[in-house]
A and B are shown apart, each in its own frame.
Chain A
Amino acid sequence: EVQLVESGGGLVQPGGSLRLSCAASGFTFSSYWMSWVRQAPGKGLEWVANIKQDGSEKYYVDSVKGRFTISRDNAKNSLYLQMNSLRAEDTAVYYCARGDLGSGGSCYDYWGQGTLVTVSS
């Protein structure tokens, strides 16, 4: 059974940092693009970042470029999101998502349960 389990969310002050983790199981993690997608309270979905199978390519939405870093450890079947210089507008549930092979990794066939990040003083 495919499982994605996020952790690391919480309350952080503006300007602070947080590192999210996503533990993957039930599939060959190193064969898939992986992404982070977020959802602000009561709002829609926003793609944040993605990373190629071997970590050689990484892409970000403009609003987080230079502040967030996506990474992965295929030996540990884990995905990460390092978030620095956090702002109130980064408040959201952050989902870890697997890129579907049938669509070339560009749609998400499995999602984690999400972890809430709240940026507030």
Chain B
Amino acid sequence: AIRMTQSPSSLSASTGDRVTITCRASQGISSYLAWYQQKPGKAPKLLIYAASTLQSGVPSRFSGSGSGTDFTLTISCLQSEDFATYYCQQYYSYPREPLTFGGGTKVEIK
């Protein structure tokens, strides 16, 4: 199975900061990558798919980039409601190969 490695595992930031989270795949996955946001006690929310396509209703301060093995999620101006844990997910060769998630990045208030 393809392994997804996120970094950092956690970070502290202030409202208004620009935040970047990275995700690395153990093999090339083209642009078959999604990003989710999860708040405590809640289900994940899809933010981005196809590495850079914003899901309907997601604020434009969220953006994604990358292809192959290296990807980034950027929050351009952190808002209070953005403090959460973020996960990447690859879907290369879906559905015959397992979908796999990164370990998560927790964005905390500084």
Contacts and interface: CB of A to CB of B under 8 A. Distances in A.
Interface residues of A, number: 26
B103 A95 contact: no
Interface string B39-68: 000011110011001010000000000000
Given A44-B101, A44-B102, A106-B91, A111 B34 contact: no
Nearest to A112: B43
Interface string A55-77: 00101011000000000000000
Contact of B101 (A45, A102, A105): A45
Interface string A87-121: 00000000100001011111111011110000000
A37 to B, nearest CB: 8
What class of interface size applies to chain B in its complex with A?
20 to 34
Contacts, number: 65
A59 to B, nearest CB: 5
Instruction: Label chain B's interface by main secondary structure.
Output: loop
B100 A109 contact: no
A47 B49 contact: no
Contacts of A50: 95, 99
A102 B32 CA distance: 12
Interface string A27-66: 0000001010000000011110010100001010110000
Contacts of B91: 103, 106-107
B22 interface: no
Contact of B46 (A59, A95, A109, A112): A109
Contact of A61 (B32, B34, B98): B98
A45 to B, nearest CB: 4
Given A47-B101, A59-B96, A102 B49 contact: yes
Interface of B: 1, 32, 34, 36, 38, 43-46, 49-50, 53, 55, 87, 89, 91, 94-96, 98-104
